[in-house]
Amino acid sequence: MTRPETSSSDRQASVVDLDARALMDSLEDAVFIHDFQGRMFDINQAACTRLGYTREELLKQGLQAIDSPEFANQVPDRMAALRKTGKGLFESVHLCKNGKGIPVEVNARLIEFNGTTLVIGVSRDITERKLAEQEKTRIQSQLLHSSKLASIGTLAAGVAHEINNPLTIIRGQNEFIRESLILNEADPKMIQTLDKQEQAIGRIAGIVNSLRLYARNDNSTSEEVNIHQIIQETLSLVANIYKRAQIQIETQLRSINPTTAGNIGQMQQVILNLIVNAKDALEGRKSGGLIRLETEDVGTTAIVLRLSDNGCGMHPNQLQQIFNAFYTTKPPGKGTGLGLPISHSIITSMKGTIDVASEPGVGTVFTLTLPKLR
């Protein structure tokens, strides 16, 4: 059977008439045809599949039920703009039947149907784009944070240098005064006062030293650092103190080859900082205090050290600040707020990362990821 001859414009018209629905249903984007009041006139298959409704159910839903509440109140303004310009491009979040929200970009146009003006909206799922944008924002704020830390580091190094010189002079002169007092058999109270002063100066010197470390101004050499060895040495240093405080320390050292490049002294400092923080977080807890140190290999290139405690934990707004220099929640004399910024600075210099997760009343986990030496 031969087909009757048709003109080119006849052929085009018949394709649209017969296959308009099939065409609409073959689209990956969801299509909604509705009036200015938001009453649905037609939808395609992708709209039903994406939102989890049957065709009948979705046709009964008004447009307002599909837009999530924070976007639904923008509908009247969008309609007004559409009436005015005949087109619109906007972002929204569409709600599925199960309550899940899907970020979408809607491209809307006006169409005439049986003498009525309707809106045809083609909605594209932009979940992936949104995730990429979030990731970009996260990386940008991380970069901002790193550059902030770097500038604080430069400032800290300068301040430390300036304080160190007069401090050395004060220490030397105190020594001279002490000798004179002893020689002249002065009142022992005077010598005691001098001792207290010396203690206070010692504390200032300690802070200044920490600041210098924070700024990584110590030109330390890079050597092979065995993480397991450092953990064990550091734990043996503090074992008795933790036992007295009734804190249990558990280790699960699973890395096969726990070596990285860095400075042993600095790595000791990082681990000590973290376990001292964990101990402080357990203060006030009568029993069941637990600090766990775990290591494991990530493929052949990295080693992960996780240090967790079941202490007081931290609120999100506190978490945001813990790597800021001088941020502390501890009483004066107990915390300087330099432990974590210094640890961050040391781990970054080893080309590693330090992450933290915490929940108030549950505990905290610090995760260090370091590149393997070989």
Q: Which does 312 bind (CB under 5 to 8 A by kind): Mg ion, ligand ATP, none?
A: ligand ATP
Q: Please state the closest distance from residue 277 (CB atom) to Mg ion, in A.
A: 4
Residue 336 binds ligand ATP, judged by CB under 6 A: yes
Q: In DSSP terms, which residues pair with 105 in a beta bridge?
A: 91, 124
Instruction: Render 278-330 in DSSP notation, one character per residue.
Output: HHHHTTT--S-EEEEEEEEEETTTEEEEEEEE-SS---HHHHTTTTSTT---S
∠ at Cα 87 (81, 93), nearest 5°? 80
Q: Please state the closest distance from residue 300 (CB atom) to ligand ATP, in A.
A: 30
Q: Which does 51 bind (CB under 5 to 8 A by kind): Mg ion, ligand ATP, none?
A: none
Q: Please state the closest distance from residue 359 (CB atom) to ligand ATP, in A.
A: 10
Q: Please state the closest distance from residue 146 (CB atom) to ligand ATP, in A.
A: 16
Instruction: Render 115-136 in DSSP notation, one character per residue.
Output: TEEEEEEEEEE-HHHHHHHHHH
Q: Please state the closest distance from residue 258 (CB atom) to ligand ATP, in A.
A: 22
Interactions with Mg ion, residue window 257-296 (CB under 5 A): 277
Report the C-alpha gap between 121 and 188 in whole angstroms: 90
Give phi and psi for 154, each to the nearest 5.
-65, -45
Number of Cβ within a 10 Å radius of residue 353: 16
∠ at Cα 249 (266, 353), nearest 5°? 40
Residue 153 binds ligand ATP, judged by CB under 6 A: no
Task: State the alpha helices, DSSP H only, in the chain.
Answer: 8-25, 45-51, 55-60, 63-66, 69-72, 75-85, 127-183, 188-214, 227-244, 264-281, 316-319, 339-349
Stretch that binds Mg ion, among 29-37, 70-78, 241-249, 335-343 (CB under 5 A): 335-343
Binding mask 256-295 for ligand ATP (x = CB under 6 A): -----------------x---xx--x--------------
Among 74, 174, 259, 329, binds ligand ATP (CB under 6 A): 329
Question: What six digits make up the tokens of 204?
Answer: 């200032």
Q: Give the nearer residue to ligand ATP in terms of CB position, either 260 or 364.
A: 364
Residue 38 binds Mg ion, judged by CB under 5 A: no
Report the C-alpha gap between 272 and 205 in whole angstroms: 19
Q: Give the nearer residue to Mg ion in terms of CB position, either 260 or 277.
A: 277
Q: Give the nearer residue to ligand ATP in terms of CB position, either 63 or 274.
A: 274
Q: Which does 311 bind (CB under 5 to 8 A by kind): Mg ion, ligand ATP, none?
A: ligand ATP
Sites of contact with ligand ATP (CB under 6 A): 273, 277-278, 281, 309, 311-314, 322, 327-330, 335-341, 364
